[in-house]
């Protein structure tokens, strides 16, 4: 009578069957990939930049560090609100994102997240963020949070972005809203200093995003998005970049006298980094006028550094 000899089950060094270990590892990778996809929907880099302006504005409104608890609440609520707006933006723009090289690897074009799941995720984040602000801050900060989400997705993404080359200008309203939200969370009102910081961030977005749009001009054209560099000459774009760069620096300097808490640290910083910002803007405009190859990402990256340094100076003066 013959016998059947069972083959030994391969095991890991810890004694765990190899097949089970590999299956568990695969599941872990799958879960990690799903989490990363949903995080990607929120566009974390944009969220981070928004929060860079919020906390210093809150410190200035508090005339010091203020309530740590309130800062944490606004940071969490603001992050969720910005993440909600960005996730809903990904849902609405899924048709054009697949046409652009810059965006075709996002979760919806690559089918790593289903459109319905992205919609539910974005709406859930929006509800949680507004509820958090309503419970722990005040009606003005809550209304501004809800308004920023609605404006970005319903007005900018669904309408302005696809219909007018002025989309970047009008879209700047929601991009600068975190300054007002942070200020309102502290004071329950909006002072001239809050509006000056709002104007600074609002005008800053124009040269910042026009530089990016120059870089990805062909992408936007392929998707049928009438960004200014797609529909206007590089000379016209350069003029607008310079004009809004001057308005940005002007707003940064105007914030100094209207806010008594801002001292020489902020004033000196605004002058120095503002001069560099204007130099980069004029350099880009000059290259375009002469027909030389453009380097728009140089201005794009410096503009991010400019805003970060400037709001760090706001925080330092508020503390001192």
Q: Where are the beta strands (DSSP E) in the chain?
A: none
- Mean pLDDT, range 50-58, rounded to an integer: 90
**Cβ neighbours for 267, distance < 8 A, ≥ 6 positions apart:** 253, 256
pLDDT, residue 6, reads: 44
Spell 199-228 as b/e; 16+ CB within 10 A means b.
bbbbbbbbbbbbbbbbbbbebbbebebbbb
Could you tell me the two tokens for 294? 């453009």
DSSP conformation class of 112: S
Could you tell me the two tokens for 75? 């940071």
Placement of tokens 């190859």 in the chain: 293
The full DSSP string for 68-96 is: HHHHHHHHHHHHHHHHHHHHHHHHHTHHH
pLDDT, residue 282, reads: 95
Instruction: Give 255-290 pLDDT, tens digit per residue.
Output: 999 988 899 999 999 999 999 999 999 999 998 888
Hey, how many other C-beta atoms are within 10 angstroms of the C-beta on 20? Answer: 12
Residue 25 has pLDDT above 60, yes or no: no
* CATH T-level assignment (fold) for domain 42-319: Farnesyl Diphosphate Synthase (1.10.600)
CA distance 260 to 200: 17
Instruction: Give 206-257 pLDDT, tens digit per residue.
Output: 999 999 999 999 999 999 999 999 999 999 999 999 999 999 999 999 999 9
pLDDT, residue 49, reads: 76
pLDDT, residue 50, reads: 76
The full DSSP string for 173-201 is: HHHHHHHHHHHHHHHSS--HHHHHHHHHH
Residue 23 has pLDDT above 60, yes or no: no
Q: What is the mean pLDDT of the chain?
A: 89
Instruction: Give 136-171 pLDDT, tens digit per residue.
Output: 999 999 999 999 999 999 999 999 999 999 999 999
Residue 173 has pLDDT above 60, yes or no: yes
Is residue 10 within 8 A of residue 18, CB to CB? The reply is yes
**Residues above pLDDT 70, as percent of the chain:** 91
| Residue 111, Ramachandran bin (φ over 0: left; ψ between -120 and 50: alpha; else beta) | left
Placement of tokens 């000056």 in the chain: 196
Hey, how many other C-beta atoms are within 10 angstroms of the C-beta on 56? Answer: 25
Residue 17 has pLDDT above 60, yes or no: no
Which residue in 299, 223, 314, 306 sits closest to 265, CA to CA?
Answer: 314
Long-range contacts at 280-287 (CB < 8 A, ≥ 24 apart): 281/207, 281/241, 281/242, 281/245, 282/242, 284/211, 284/238, 284/241, 285/238, 285/239, 285/241, 285/242, 286/238
**Cβ neighbours for 236, distance < 8 A, ≥ 6 positions apart:** 228
113, 230, 237, 281, 295 from 301: Cα distances, Å: 30, 21, 18, 12, 11
Residue 27 has pLDDT above 80, yes or no: no
pLDDT, residue 19, reads: 46
Better-scored residue on pLDDT, 120 or 49? 120
3-state secondary structure of 17: strand
Instruction: Give 89-106 pLDDT, tens digit per residue.
Output: 999 999 999 999 888 899
**Cβ neighbours for 55, distance < 8 A, ≥ 6 positions apart:** 71, 75, 182, 315
Which residue in 317, 236, 309 sits closest to 275, CA to CA?
Answer: 309
Residue 55 has pLDDT above 70, yes or no: yes
pLDDT, residue 29, reads: 53
């Amino acid at each position: 009578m013959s016998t059947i000899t069972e083959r030994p089950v391969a095991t890991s060094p810890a004694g765990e069957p190899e097949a089970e270990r590999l299956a568990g590892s695969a599941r872990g990778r799958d879960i990690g990939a799903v989490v990363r996809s949903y995080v990607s929907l929120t566009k974390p880099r944009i969220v981070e930049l928004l929060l860079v302006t919020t906390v210093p504005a809150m410190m200035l409104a508090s005339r010091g560090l203020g309530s740590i608890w309130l800062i944490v609440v606004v940071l969490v609520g603001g992050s969720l609100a910005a993440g909600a707006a960005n996730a809903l933006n990904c849902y609405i723009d899924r048709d054009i994102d697949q046409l652009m090289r810059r965006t075709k690897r996002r979760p919806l074009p690559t089918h790593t997240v289903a459109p319905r799941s992205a919609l539910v995720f974005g709406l859930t984040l929006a509800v949680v963020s507004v509820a958090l602000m309503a419970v722990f801050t005040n009606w003005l900060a809550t209304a501004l949070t809800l308004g920023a989400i609605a404006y970005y997705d319903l007005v900018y993404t669904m309408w302005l972005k696809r219909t007018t080359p002025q989309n970047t200008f009008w879209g700047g309203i929601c991009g600068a809203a975190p300054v007002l939200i942070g200020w309102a969370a502290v004071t329950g009102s909006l002072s001239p200093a809050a509006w000056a910081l709002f104007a600074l961030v609002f005008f800053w977005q124009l040269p910042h995003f026009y530089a990016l749009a120059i870089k990805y001009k062909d992408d936007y054209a392929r998707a049928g998005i009438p960004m200014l560099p797609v529909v206007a000459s590089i000379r016209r774009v350069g003029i607008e970049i310079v004009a809004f760069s001057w308005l940005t620096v002007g707003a940064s300097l105007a914030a100094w006298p209207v806010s008594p808490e801002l001292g020489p640290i902020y004033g000196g910083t605004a002058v120095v980094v503002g001069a560099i910002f204007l130099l980069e803007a004029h350099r880009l405009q000059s290259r375009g006028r002469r027909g030389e190859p453009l380097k728009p990402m140089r201005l794009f990256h410096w503009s991010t550094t400019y805003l970060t340094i400037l709001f760090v100076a706001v925080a330092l003066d508020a503390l001192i």
